[in-house]
Amino acid sequence: MSKRIRHELTYDAPLADVAAMLADPAFRERVCAFQGVTRQTVAIDGSGAGMTVSIDQVQPAKGIPAFATKFVGDEVNIVQQETWSTVDRAALTVTIPGKPGEMEGTVTLTEAGGVTTEVVDLEIKVRIPLVGSKIEGLIGDLLTKALRAENKVGREYLAG
């Protein structure tokens, strides 16, 4: 089984400005801070086509249901990898090191009338008998919340 999430983030800015924001380590660190991450490492190599982004973050596991806490512990380590093949498209992988699951998908940027839409499309797979689908749903909800936070911080970033 797996769960698919698709989330759209919109920005009142041209695609070039959104791409530059996504290539800025300070923006990525602001997103982590807004989400209450306890520690993070952000690494961005290159820009545009060929850019790679790696975000390794640790968050407290507060608010996670008891059935999931026994699998993740008191903290959740999340590693996000983006590989941008063009300025407007990236392969996205999110892992929780040492845990049986993965999230893979894409990030795409499109511009229309000076407004840029970022679409994150991910498939979540958790290989734990009996509770895997529940954890997939929980991860999907957490990722959607994280994407909403990224969109809020991004709008503020682009507004100057």
Per-residue pLDDT of the chain (160 residues; tens, 9 = 90+): 788 999 999 999 999 999 999 999 999 999 999 999 999 999 999 988 999 999 999 988 777 777 677 676 778 888 999 999 999 999 999 988 887 788 999 999 999 999 999 999 999 988 777 777 787 887 888 888 899 999 999 999 999 8
pLDDT at residue number 98: 81
Write down the pLDDT at residue 115.
98
Q: What is the pLDDT of residue 128?
A: 75
Q: Using H for helix, E for strand and C for coil, what is the string for the chain?
A: CCEEEEEEEEECCCHHHHHHHHCCHHHHHHHHHHCCCCEEEEEEECCCCCCEEEEEEEEECCCCCHHHHHHHCCEEEEEEEEEEEECCEEEEEEECCCCCEEEEEEEEEEEECCEEEEEEEEEEEECCCCCHHHHHHHHHHHHHHHHHHHHHHHHHHHHC
pLDDT for res 66: 73
Q: Residue 136: what pLDDT?
A: 81
Residue 74's pLDDT is: 77
